[in-house]
Amino acid sequence: MLTDRVHRVRIAHLPTPIDYLPRLSALLGGPRLYIKRDDQTGLATGGNKTRKLEFLIADALGHGADTVITGGAPQSNHCRQTAAAAARHGLRAVLVLKGEAPKPPHVGNILLDELLGAELRWSGDMPRDEALQAAFEAEQQSGHKPYLIPYGGSNEVGATGYVAAIEELQSQLRSGYLPICHFDAIVFASSSGGTQAGLSVGAKALGIQSRILGISVDKHADVLSELVADLANRTAERLGLNVRLSAGDIEVNDNYLGGGYAVVGAPEREAIRLVAQTEGLLLDPVYTGRAMAGLLDLIRKGEFSKGQHVLFWHTGGTAALSGFSEVL
């Protein structure tokens, strides 16, 4: 195993299943579409951050922490999963959420954060990194031993979860779990970079030739590809892997940024409804809805051929759907 040399706690329900999407594939008339169900990792409705948290929580415990601190948008899936992982391991969770506290009733991930026992702090006008650092220092001054988890869990510790994930995918393909042994492309939402960095490192180390395509939900391609490459190289170094990647090795498509982060438009609405009504699967409004909208458009433009096999990696987030009911 590529990740055997680093500590890990077992949280996720793994391996996550891979489903074929026959009705959506037929409707689009393009490649055969499959979906990797990381919405079923099992931690407080699941999601991709659970894989990262197996390594982040292990690192926090190794450092003797009694509190984990992280931050995100009000409907952050990462924050919800961090709160759940902390509760499972007897740690306090402090979540620094962007902006001002919304008026009750609370819905979506905010409700779940509260149920999971997290302490919610709101950053107001303070820049996110300053707000996180202020929370960290306040916890230290109060006598706690805090451990800071970056936005999205995306550092070299968290990205290790997706090195392990692509190794899991390779094992599934080699076992005969599916009637195919290779995906021509793996498509997913990319934002803080940890998922794409881990997948890229793992694919390079294992010699996997699949196209690794991140659909950006909030950053321009040149910025995100640099971020991912840097994170990938730090992850590979941590794992002792002889892998180096440049920004040119990282494929990011930023044509689907729409109105900006968490701004739901017509493409996201169409993708969420189409997948729900053809396959009975739920996507989220911020990440997988936007990434699927990008994939649908690429298929309609002939980017993928009819004989190809394409895997859409579902990174979770459906707990946030009720928080976007007015725009959906």
Give bridge partners of residue 92 from the DSSP assignment. Answer: 67
- 160, two tokens: 């290790």
Closest to 59 measured CA to CA, from 156, 151, 198, 140: 156
Residues 6+ apart with CB under 8 A from 186: 169, 199, 210, 211, 212, 213, 310, 311, 313
Does 191 qualify as catalytic in the annotation? no
Backbone angles phi, psi at 324, to 5 degrees: -120, 25
Q: 324: helix, coil or strand? A: helix
25, 76, 192, 225: which is the annotated catalytic residue?
A: 76
Distance CA 91, CA 84 (A): 10
CA-CA distance, 265 to 307, in Å (whole number)?
Answer: 31
Three-state secondary-structure class, residue 122: strand
What residues are paired with 199 via a beta bridge? none
Q: Which residues are catalytic?
A: 76
